[in-house]
A and B are shown apart, each in its own frame.
Chain A
Amino acid sequence: MLPQFDLKDPQLESRVYGTRTILAIGLVMILLGVILMRYYTLQVTEYEIYRTQSERNRVQLQPLPPRRGLIFDRNGVVLADNRPSYMLSIVRERVPDLEATLADLQAVLPVSESDLETFRKKLYRSRPYEPVPLRFRLTEEERARLAVNRFRLPGVVVEAQLLRHYPHGELFSHAIGYVGRINEQEAQELDETDYRGTFHIGKVGVEKYYEDLLHGDVGYQNVESNAHGRVLRVLERFAPVRGKDLTLSLDYDVQLAAFEALGDRRGAVVAIDPRTGGLLALVSTPGFDTNLFVNGISSSEYSALRDSLDVPLFNRAIQGSYPPGSTIKPFMSMAGLLSGLVTPQSTVADPGWYSLPGDSRKYRDWILRVTGTGHAARVDMKMAIAQSCDVYYYDLARRLTIDRMYDYLHPFGFGDRTGIDTTNERAGVLPSTRWKRAAMAQSWYPGETLSAGIGQGYMLASPLQLAVATSVMASRGQRYVPRLVMAVDGEPVAPPVLEPIEAPAEYWDAIFDGMREVVHGQRGTAKALAKGIAYEMAGKTGTAQVIGIAQNAVYNEDEVAERHRHHGLFIAFAPIEDPTIAVGIIVENGGGSSAASPIARAVIDTWLQVEPTDG
């Protein structure tokens, strides 16, 4: 160390250094004190805050959606079950840039606009740590591609879930309905807790009516998951309670027989066990594949279904309203007997037409066009039913008057919802003076009573109502609220019983005789059915005129003509001695009842084979 200009002073240097060292040590101590104070604050003063936060990081509450209840037919054939399916969800909290991640995802697998829209709506409502579903039903390949790209898609999770599946698709579409993704409106009405983790809800039919039973109770688990949302272990678990399984009274074979007998025609078949009120078949054609709706149907598929002239989404069996036509006649007969206006033996003169006193207008019987005359000089009840004599019922209707007709027909289930355990049922119309004033603000005309007497005019009924009325007839007045579900988790459900229709046995016998003649008589309107039959069937044919669409459809003559044909109707029950099945059938534009009656034969044959008559 050589001094340059000034003299170096080693002692001064050493002293200065000593002072500076003490200062430096002091500064270091102060700053280390600051650091320690900071750690003390975090670890002691604010310990609870960070302890909680660390637990919240580590442990997450995950909802465990319950397994939806299964649906079986009466013999245990599975009609709706749940199959594993993979869905892609996004955990908002773990995604640094949502838009970028969505864009990246779209490069990996297709995400439709509607998927995105639903996703965003759901995202808005859910908590940041909850997975929000974006795509359902991932294919094997999509899952593989996601796995490869996982590292650059933080917050994207693939989860397995159980998805509703309908093994028989179209066959039971109108009988059990379907589930679909919960929409916004439903989400607002639902119990948020109960449906946490559930993405589907019954939309139509049994699936909707029994939603509470089918859904079950949500469970929870506390899981330890890492920062990427991967669950590492389950800490605590409260198992969900699975939904209840429903056993329907429907019979797969009977349903299939009805469906196949209808073929490609538009129509509906409802079959009821008159002993219980349980439905054996509920078919409306055309149907549709309910599986399409489970995960959101594509708009093109949906508009195809919606815009089809055949209206496949329309449940004809319970929503359809048709003039019952001559199928009303057995019930009119009971009205006549109960009112005392006719007896089984009393007769009416039948020239082939009828006119009101003091009115020259002729109300024609359908037979007049065929034979030029009436069914016979005088017609009794049995012949009136067997040959569907209009004049007999014109006369009865006139004497009964419309409001008393209402009183006697209403207990058979016309004019009101039957209360069946499914959705969208329509009430039909059983006209009365009160009804006309309310519905049309008009007074009742006597001629309208005659039309009503043969099931035309304002009168409308659904195939279900026809079947229910036939069932009441078959059971000689026993009335049940029709049921689709006969057991819940194997426990039989008692059908709701209504007050029976009280009538002497000979009244029922008289009507049964007439209805037997329809099928088994020489001049019965459905005598073709008797060929090769092994049991006694009671039936009644009906034809409903189609009106109202003549003005606007002229493009395809064949098509328009086809759609102008009469609806064919048929009601039946069997075996007559101890009926176990009652059916109501309509074939739209079938031309006449002959289109409908063979379907009854097929359905009843099947049921009686399956269920041999017992005591």
Chain B
Amino acid sequence: MGDYVRQLPHQGSRDMARRPSAIMRLHIDIPLLLLLLVLSVYGLLVLYSASGQSMEAVYRQGRYLGLAFAVMLLVAQINLKEFERWAPWLYIGGVALLVAVLLVGVGAKGAQRWLQLGGFRFQPAEVMKLAVPLVLAWFLAGRVLPPRFFAVLGALLLLGLPAGLIVVQPDLGTSLLIASSGLFVLFMAGIGWRYIFGAVVLAAASAWPMWMYGLKEYQKQRILTMFNPESDKLGAGWNIIQSKTAIGSGGWDGKGWLQSTQSRLDFLPESHTDFIIAVLAEEHGLQGIILLVGIYLLILLRGFWIGAQAQTSFGRMMAGSLTLTFFVYIFVNMGMVAGLLPVVGVPLPLVSAGGTSVVTLLAGFGVLMAISTEKASATT
């Protein structure tokens, strides 16, 4: 009796370790979920200030986040094999929608990016953010890795078609993001260094012709503005001057929560969407930036760890690509607001206000969770 009682906790804990827990059965990666929640709360705090202390904006973003987290958990339930099976169909559907956008799409400011479905507007490019890495991972997983020449060629064609369709909308920024998510799949698949160096050389060589013939005037302007914002203080340079001012004036400590003058006095444009990091930097200083980057780094490391633990090449490639794409968002957004990169419409993941981007992003994390719990679910 005494023995039994003494043994019970030990027995229980071993049982717990061996048997898939309720959490595992729900396909939830706890560290990832916690990190994403912490990030979302931090984001809402900044948003409250950046939106001019509007609870309404916070509630709206909260509802988007709720929806996105639900989507993430839902996606996490899907068996990885199902992703592999549906990847080509998702891809084909996505490409069809992109073609539809060009034919019957609606848009604003000279770009044609949306499909109108009843009262609902829908941007097919968002689908491709997941469909492209999925289809490439599916395509390469079925082949010998590292991929051979024809596999690389096939992958590039799969990647080039939607990227090309999005470029002509035109939406160069999204196109580059989608292309990079595909290239990350290739990279994680172990594509040969000669391809990588070749691509770098090709990119460098094509810079001049791209500048001369490929880029539109406004795109060139953005790049020029990045190098010299003072050249057009009131026009294109305004955003960068004001965001740098916001960031710089935050210093190490920051001005304090709700004390951002650049944002409160409307000097900072897009302060609650693409430029929200400037508000964070102004109010919370470099400390706040380091905290944010720290959270992001932990999420990235968790993503890489999930990839390393994955059971299949498909899972590994997907995890690697999703994680690297997530990083690209962070890098591009933080870089552009700080004047390191030209201004492109990339939100700061889980901090910038917005609905679609958050849902797409967390759907990706749903895939990551599915990968992370793949082994456990296999044992059920």
Chain A residues proximal to chain B, CB less than 8 Å: 1-10, 12-14, 16-21, 24-25, 28-29, 31-32, 34-36, 38-40, 42-44, 46-47, 49-51, 53-55, 57-58, 93-96, 224-228, 232
- Give Cα A96 to B245, complex, Å: 20
Total interface residues in chain B, CB < 8 Å: 59
Q: Is the CB of A50 within 8 A of B335?
A: no
Q: Which of A7, A36, A49, A54 contacts B293 (CB 8 A)?
A: A36
Q: Is the CB of A20 within 8 A of B144?
A: no
A-B contact pairs, 14 of them (CB 8 A): A9-B144, A16-B189, A17-B313, A32-B296, A32-B331, A34-B340, A35-B335, A39-B334, A43-B247, A43-B289, A51-B251, A53-B248, A95-B234, A96-B235
Q: Which of A13, A21, A35, A54 contacts B307 (CB 8 A)?
A: A21
Q: Is the CB of A224 within 8 A of B265?
A: yes
Q: Is the CB of B246 within 8 A of A54?
A: yes
- Chain A residues lying within 8 Å of B146, measured Cβ to Cβ, are 16
Give the Cβ gap from A18 to chain B, nearest Cβ, in Å.
6
Q: Is the CB of B297 within 8 A of A228?
A: no
Give the Cβ gap from B87 to chain A, nearest Cβ, in Å.
14
- Chain A residues lying within 8 Å of B246, measured Cβ to Cβ, are 50, 54
Find the B residue at minimum CB distance from A10: B313
- Chain B residues lying within 8 Å of A228, measured Cβ to Cβ, are 266
Task: Choose among B248, B282, B300, B327 the residue with the greatest number of A CB atoms under 10 Å from its CB.
Answer: B248
- Give Cα A7 to B323, complex, Å: 29
- Give Cα A14 to B117, complex, Å: 44
- Give Cα A6 to B285, complex, Å: 55
Q: Is the CB of A42 within 8 A of B320?
A: no
Q: Is the CB of B313 within 8 A of A39?
A: no
Task: Choose among B142, B145, B262, B312 the residue with the greatest number of A CB atoms under 10 Å from its CB.
Answer: B145
- Chain A residues lying within 8 Å of B370, measured Cβ to Cβ, are none
- Give Cα A224 to B308, complex, Å: 54
B188 proximal to A (CB < 8 A): yes
Give the Cβ gap from A319 to chain B, nearest Cβ, in Å.
51
With contacts A35-B331, A51-B248, A227-B266 known, is A16 near B312, CB below 8 A? Answer: no
Task: Choose among B247, B252, B330 the residue with the greatest number of A CB atoms under 10 Å from its CB.
Answer: B247
- A3-B144, A7-B144 provided; 7 other pairs, C-beta below 8 A? A2-B142, A6-B144, A9-B145, A32-B293, A54-B246, A93-B234, A95-B234
- Give Cα A42 to B187, complex, Å: 33
Q: Is the CB of A42 within 8 A of B293?
A: no
Q: Is the CB of B289 within 8 A of A1?
A: no
B 50-80 binary contact with A (CB < 8 Å = 1; else 0): 0000000000000000000000000000000
- Give Cα A49 to B248, complex, Å: 8
The dominant DSSP class at the B interface is: helix
- Chain B residues lying within 8 Å of A25, measured Cβ to Cβ, are 300-301, 304
Q: Is the CB of B293 within 8 A of A35?
A: yes
Q: Is the CB of B265 within 8 A of A58?
A: yes
With contacts A17-B190, A17-B307, A96-B234 known, is A53 near B313, CB below 8 A? Answer: no
Q: Is the CB of A43 within 8 A of B300?
A: no
Q: Is the CB of A36 within 8 A of B289?
A: yes
Find the A residue at minimum CB distance from B188: A20
Closest 9 CB pairs of A and B: A50-B248, A16-B190, A54-B249, A226-B265, A227-B266, A6-B144, A42-B248, A43-B286, A50-B249
Q: Is the CB of B190 within 8 A of A20?
A: yes
Give the Cβ gap from A422 to chain B, nearest Cβ, in Å.
48
Q: Which of A9, A28, A38, A53 contacts B327 (CB 8 A)?
A: A28
Find the A residue at minimum CB distance from B268: A227
- Give Cα A47 to B247, complex, Å: 9
- Chain A residues lying within 8 Å of B297, measured Cβ to Cβ, are 28-29, 32
B 158-200 binary contact with A (CB < 8 Å = 1; else 0): 0000000000000000000000000000011110000000000
- Give Cα A10 to B312, complex, Å: 8
- Give Cα A10 to B145, complex, Å: 9
Give the Cβ gap from A26 to chain B, nearest Cβ, in Å.
11
Q: Is the CB of B313 within 8 A of A13?
A: yes
Chain B residues proximal to chain A, CB less than 8 Å: 141-146, 148, 187-190, 234-235, 242, 244-252, 261-262, 264-267, 281-282, 285-286, 289-290, 293, 296-297, 300-301, 304, 307-308, 312-314, 316-317, 320, 323-324, 327, 330-331, 334-335, 338-340
Find the A residue at minimum CB distance from B310: A17
With contacts A21-B308, A54-B261, A226-B266 known, is A43 near B250, CB below 8 A? Answer: yes
Q: Is the CB of B249 within 8 A of A38?
A: no
- Chain A residues lying within 8 Å of B300, measured Cβ to Cβ, are 25, 28
- Chain A residues lying within 8 Å of B234, measured Cβ to Cβ, are 93-96
The dominant DSSP class at the A interface is: helix
- Chain B residues lying within 8 Å of A3, measured Cβ to Cβ, are 144
Give the Cβ gap from B4 to chain A, nearest Cβ, in Å.
44
With contacts A25-B304, A43-B285 known, is A232 near B190, CB below 8 A? Answer: no
Q: Is the CB of A54 within 8 A of B144?
A: no
- Chain B residues lying within 8 Å of A94, measured Cβ to Cβ, are 234
Q: Is the CB of B266 within 8 A of A44?
A: no
- Chain B residues lying within 8 Å of A5, measured Cβ to Cβ, are 144
Q: Which of A17, A28, A57 contacts B188 (CB 8 A)?
A: A17
Q: Is the CB of B145 within 8 A of A16?
A: yes
Q: Which of B145, B242, B286 contacts A13 (CB 8 A)?
A: B145
- Chain A residues lying within 8 Å of B249, measured Cβ to Cβ, are 47, 50-51, 53-55
Give the Cβ gap from A300 to chain B, nearest Cβ, in Å.
38
- Give Cα A29 to B294, complex, Å: 11
- Give Cα A428 to B248, complex, Å: 71
Q: Is the CB of B144 within 8 A of A8?
A: yes
- Chain B residues lying within 8 Å of A35, measured Cβ to Cβ, are 293, 330-331, 334-335, 338, 340
Find the B residue at minimum CB distance from A53: B245
Q: Is the CB of B338 within 8 A of A42?
A: yes
- Give Cα A46 to B244, complex, Å: 10
- Give Cα A94 to B265, complex, Å: 13
Q: Is the CB of B143 within 8 A of A4?
A: yes
Find the B residue at minimum CB distance from A52: B249
Q: Is the CB of A21 within 8 A of B320?
A: yes
Give the Cβ gap from B293 to chain A, nearest Cβ, in Å.
6
Q: Is the CB of A36 within 8 A of B290?
A: yes
With contacts A1-B142, A96-B235 known, is A57 near B320, CB below 8 A? Answer: no
Find the A residue at minimum CB distance from B266: A227
Give the Cβ gap from A345 to chain B, nearest Cβ, in Å.
91
- Chain A residues lying within 8 Å of B331, measured Cβ to Cβ, are 31-32, 35
- Give Cα A6 to B297, complex, Å: 38
Find the B residue at minimum CB distance from A50: B248
Task: Choose among B312, B314, B317, B334 the residue with the greatest number of A CB atoms under 10 Å from its CB.
Answer: B334
With contacts A4-B144, A57-B262 known, is A50 near B289, CB below 8 A? Answer: no
- Chain B residues lying within 8 Å of A32, measured Cβ to Cβ, are 293, 296-297, 330-331
- Give Cα A357 to B301, complex, Å: 129
- Chain A residues lying within 8 Å of B145, measured Cβ to Cβ, are 8-9, 12-13, 16
Q: Is the CB of B320 within 8 A of A24?
A: yes
- Give Cα A21 to B316, complex, Å: 10
- Give Cα A36 to B244, complex, Å: 14
Q: Which of A12, A47, A93, A227 contacts B251 (CB 8 A)?
A: A47
Q: Which of B188, B189, B265, B320 contacts A225 (CB 8 A)?
A: B265
Find the B residue at minimum CB distance from A224: B265
Find the B residue at minimum CB distance from A43: B286
With contacts A31-B331, A39-B289, A93-B234 known, is A13 near B262, CB below 8 A? Answer: no
Find the A residue at minimum CB distance from B277: A39
- Give Cα A43 to B285, complex, Å: 7
Q: Is the CB of B312 within 8 A of A1?
A: yes
- Give Cα A62 to B317, complex, Å: 61
With contacts A24-B187, A49-B248 known, is A227 near B289, CB below 8 A? Answer: no
Q: Is the CB of B190 within 8 A of A38?
A: no
Q: Is the CB of B286 within 8 A of A40?
A: yes
- Chain B residues lying within 8 Å of A31, measured Cβ to Cβ, are 327, 331
Q: Is the CB of B281 within 8 A of A39?
A: yes
Task: Choose among A2, A3, A13 the residue with the greatest number of B CB atoms under 10 Å from its CB.
Answer: A13
- Chain A residues lying within 8 Å of B187, measured Cβ to Cβ, are 20, 24
Find the B residue at minimum CB distance from A24: B324
- Chain B residues lying within 8 Å of A42, measured Cβ to Cβ, are 244, 247-248, 281, 338
